[in-house]
């Protein structure tokens, strides 16, 4: 049987979003995020982070910087008994296209990274959830047959009206989203 997954955005959903986060010492978990992820782990969900990192294309930081932030995030979560099973990122930006000048299909709401995670972890999209603070974080749920939840942390407050118009659930934070997932 294929695995259930929760696809999480990183900045503004799990951690504070200072803008182009690339310094490990600036990684700060949002309140309740670690406990929420631990609950998903305990419930048997694969926890997969999918994040757009246009700062790499803009030349603001490097892939190594991104990886250092991810390592720090993993360390912080581990102190709370939580873990991320997989992490995928898009280093592109529409104004700064990928190799050869081509636009990419890995930048959310593109589906490439979700399909890569599906192949790696044998994920059943119809039993999975997408959680983030931007519409592009949750739009793939509709395309792939899952459910999306917008959190009001990070940029979520800006997108609440559009999310509701698209019949996407809006909740306060990741802990509230996980409560909906586990009781829904």
Residues belonging to the active site: 9, 11
Q: Tell me the C-alpha distance between 170 and 11, whole Å.
A: 17
Measured CA distances, 110 to 43, 44, 139 (Å): 28, 26, 9
Look at residues 167, 140, 135 and name the one whose alpha carbon lies nearest to residue 151. Answer: 135
DSSP 99-158: GGGPPPS-STT-SHHHHHHHHHHTB-GGG-EEEESSHHHHHHHHHHT-EEEEESTTTHHH
């Amino acid at each position: 049987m294929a695995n259930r997954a929760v696809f999480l955005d990183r900045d503004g959903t799990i951690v504070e979003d200072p803008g182009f986060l690339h310094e490990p010492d600036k990684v700060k978990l949002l309140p309740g995020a670690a406990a929420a992820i631990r609950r998903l782990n305990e419930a048997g969900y694969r926890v997969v982070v999918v994040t757009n990192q246009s700062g790499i294309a803009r030349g603001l930081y490097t892939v190594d910087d991104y990886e250092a932030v991810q390592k720090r995030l993993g360390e912080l979560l581990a102190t709370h008994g939580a873990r991320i099973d997989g992490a995928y990122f898009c280093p592109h930006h529409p104004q700064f296209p990928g190799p050869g000048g081509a636009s990419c299909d890995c930048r959310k709401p593109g589906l490439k990274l979700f399909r890569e995670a599906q192949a790696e972890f044998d994920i059943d999209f119809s039993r999975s959830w997408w959680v983030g603070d931007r519409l592009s974080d949750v739009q793939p749920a509709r395309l792939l047959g899952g459910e999306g939840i917008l959190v009001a942390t990070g940029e979520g407050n800006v997108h609440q009206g559009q999310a509701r118009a698209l019949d996407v659930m809006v909740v306060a934070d990741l802990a509230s989203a996980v409560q909906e997932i586990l009781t829904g």
